Structure 1
């Protein structure tokens, strides 16, 4: 059920195309309310906006503002099946602000929803404390019907050995700030550990401060951007397997167990604020 009043008509994106939907008008006092009942299909995206979007640029670079049909055309041009509702909303708001020369005369607000199934992600950070538990924990990890993420070089080596697969480093994904990601057949994403997780936490904090901060994450192939995209935009349920084994390599980085645990708990807190279901299991 959708009720609309005094704003541009919401867009319904289905299979990447803007489609019409039935609306009836009724009055509450002198207020004209547009009501719709829309049977949603998986993948549908509903985009609501204030008239600050369609009026963007009036008196500046767009004398007639930004017509709803042109907003729809932009959204259609951006859409892919993997594009998140959040990215579409931020893209529309960014374009409206650009038309207003970054000085909007009216409120620019965009809200987008995607109707989709839940997506589970399992993430392993660090090996188990006792080597004798390695196989048991990894069986539990891979038994979950989910995307599988492995963080940390030692953990990646452990997983590769367990699966009997090669661990490959993708050197071109390394940046001045972040180590390269890896690849293991049977694992969806392999990243470095603490440095990457710190950046993911930073990205999460920025995103919760301002939804527009989703835009800089797109098109990047570094581990933090890829993991941020997976956790922030795709995952609905996250299971973290937090290994408590001491990693001698962390001594040089001045990272003790408590610091690492604090980092993971902070990530749990931020993802929970985003509406995710998060479970952290120490092993």
Structure 2
């Protein structure tokens, strides 16, 4: 069962959104990546961990996964940083041949209320920090924990800032080619600066561009696992989904106005819900027959609404699609039907607010369920849990 949380007021929810994305390239011939990225977002903070296991393949993947899991779990539980570091560094064995740890890591922690960040780097390449699209060299201090050097940097983020952590496989792109020592940190920084000049960035667009160039420099033969995780500070992109007529029919106009006054993208899921909003607007929902599919009704059109779909069937199918693509927008099917369009709206949104009417449509109601248990409600709660499992910010309100 999904826990229902009341909607946050603007004062409770910071205007800045911390857009986090990560992508990796596997070493040629390896099914598993030897790098591992994990991040957790809570109301108060974001914690990001990039771990690079020694070598490649299964062994490196296991080492990196264990390291990132230990770090993210302890840090999220607010275990003191020094104790976390001692636990991880004390756990990692040292390669007797190369005299280096079996896994390196970078930690980025961000306080959502103060926008302050801390970076802890253990033998990974330095983090990239961009302010207004220009690279800024972070001042680092060196701490010693269990006789190992750990670099620490701190600062405060503003809108438009970007932090990026890489594994050394990105640095080595082009090694043995025209650049004897690989792509190199400075060249990567210049490349990323150029991205800020020529495009309106998101975390995904920056990371995709860098890794596409990394693949190109390797000429398709990836010589080492290459990963980049970044956080870009930008304005929040919210979405409201209104589905199901309110239990109290006298409140129809109240909730229609709630949707229309919402400061973000707006979607309606449900024929009756669409008609409620259309009547309030003095319009009629126009159907787009070209979007009709064998298993899905067509979408509708209203002047101030970004997406209008049927309810139960579309929500169910959209949830199935999101599960199959693992909530990765790049893996969405290419088709213009209501379920895919709804899934895209959800994945493109930074935060989603579901306004769920509790009036039950007898046509869809399972006769084996009590009258007060709605199929619509169960479907939405299943969708919400899936999204939260993928670090999406989701709120619900029943009406």
Q: TM-score, normalised by structure 2?
A: 0.53
Q: What is the CA–CA distance in structure 1 between the aligned matches of 2:389 and 2:266, rounded to whole Å? A: 22
Q: Which residue of 2 aligns with 1:279?
A: 395
- Out of 347, 352, 366, the position equivalent to 1:232 is 347
| Offset of residue 184 of structure 1 | 1.4
Q: Mark the structure with the bigger radius of gyration.
A: 2
Q: Secondary structure at the match of 1:159?
A: helix
The gaps in structure 1 that reach 5 residues or longer are none
Q: Which residue of 2 aligns with 1:20?
A: 135
Instruction: Output one character per residue of 1:119-164: Cα deviation in whole Å (capped at 9) or x when no partner.
Output: 5432111223454442243244445444322112332222111111
Does the CA-based 8 Å contact 1:242-1:280 persist in structure 2? no
Gap change, CA 1:33 and 1:94, over 3 Å in 2? same
Q: Which residue of 1 aligns with 2:272?
A: 154
Q: What is the CA–CA distance in structure 2 between the aligned matches of 1:99 and 1:150, rounded to whole Å? A: 46
Q: Which residue of 2 aligns with 1:116?
A: 234
Q: Which has the higher strand share?
A: 2
How does 1:101-250 map onto structure 2 within 5 Å? Answer: 104=222, 106-129=224-247, 131-170=249-288, 179-206=297-324, 208=326, 213-217=328-332, 222-246=337-361, 248=363, 250=364
Q: Secondary structure at the match of 1:127?
A: coil
Does the CA-based 8 Å contact 2:267-2:307 persist in structure 1? yes
Q: What is the CA–CA distance in structure 1 between the aligned matches of 2:137 and 2:254, rounded to whole Å? A: 54
Q: What is the CA–CA distance in structure 2 between the aligned matches of 1:146 and 1:169, rounded to whole Å? A: 23
Q: What is the CA–CA distance in structure 1 between the aligned matches of 2:194 and 2:318, rounded to whole Å? A: 29
Instruction: Output one character per residue of 1:15-47: Cα deviation in whole Å (capped at 9) or x when no partner.
Output: 6x4x21132344345866555444422133322
Q: TM-score, normalised by structure 1?
A: 0.70
The gaps in structure 2 that reach 5 residues or longer are 1-117, 366-370
Does the CA-based 8 Å contact 1:23-1:34 persist in structure 2? no
| Offset of residue 264 of structure 1 | 0.8
Does the CA-based 8 Å contact 1:43-1:115 persist in structure 2? yes
Gap change, CA 1:269 and 1:103, over 3 Å in 2? farther
Q: What is the CA–CA distance in structure 2 between the aligned matches of 1:173 and 1:71, rounded to whole Å? A: 44
Q: Which residue of 1 aligns with 2:5?
A: none
